[in-house]
Copies of this chain bind each other. A is one copy, B any other.
């Protein structure tokens, strides 16, 4: 079982990357073959129909599509920007949606979010659902939202709060079980 994990943020010290690292580690323990990607690996310009017509799909988009295609499931850990999907992540989805069939079809998908605020990025996940759903994955109803993320990790990079950590364990356990069993194609 192969699972692609990435944070939808370009910043190197992003709390979303930290949370993605935690999730990747937990999935590895659960026996998954984890493909942990840095969002910077999928470099692509702003979507522009003229650019697509002249140059085709950017290499970074194709790379992201190939990594999704090779995976059974995807974890996206995304910040919330202005109550919505971060522009760079939405841009990647927009480019991906030019590929037929959508590489996301039939993939099992888990969404998470970290944010410095007390809200924890839940509104970004809400905005992400319709945009992603359009492209055919199976979205877990469970989603994990880490608030006050600047203080949420201990020195080892784990989630300091035990209850939250266990909650995440339970969610990922169910996610892996569904990924391993669901015949989506």
Residues on A close to B: CB < 8 A? 9-14, 46-51, 81-95, 97, 104-106, 118-120, 122-123, 126-127, 129-143, 147, 174, 177-178, 180-185
Contact = CB atoms under 8 A, between A and B. Distances in A.
Contact of A46 (B84, B91, B138, B185): B91
Contacts of A141: 104-105, 132-139
24 contacts: A11-B50, A47-B86, A47-B87, A81-B97, A82-B94, A83-B131, A83-B133, A118-B119, A123-B126, A127-B127, A129-B130, A129-B133, A129-B139, A134-B141, A135-B141, A138-B138, A139-B141, A174-B185, A177-B183, A177-B184, A178-B183, A181-B181, A181-B182, A182-B182
B94 A87 contact: yes
A143 B133 contact: yes
Copies in the complex: 4
Nearest to A128: B84
A141 B93 CA distance: 14
A180 B46 CA distance: 35
A131 B91 contact: no
The 8 closest A-B pairs by CB, nearest first: A87-B91, A11-B49, A182-B182, A10-B48, A87-B90, A84-B131, A136-B141, A46-B88
A7 B14 CA distance: 32
Contacts of A47: 10, 81, 86-88
Residue of A95, A141, A174 with most partner-chain B CB within 10 A? A141
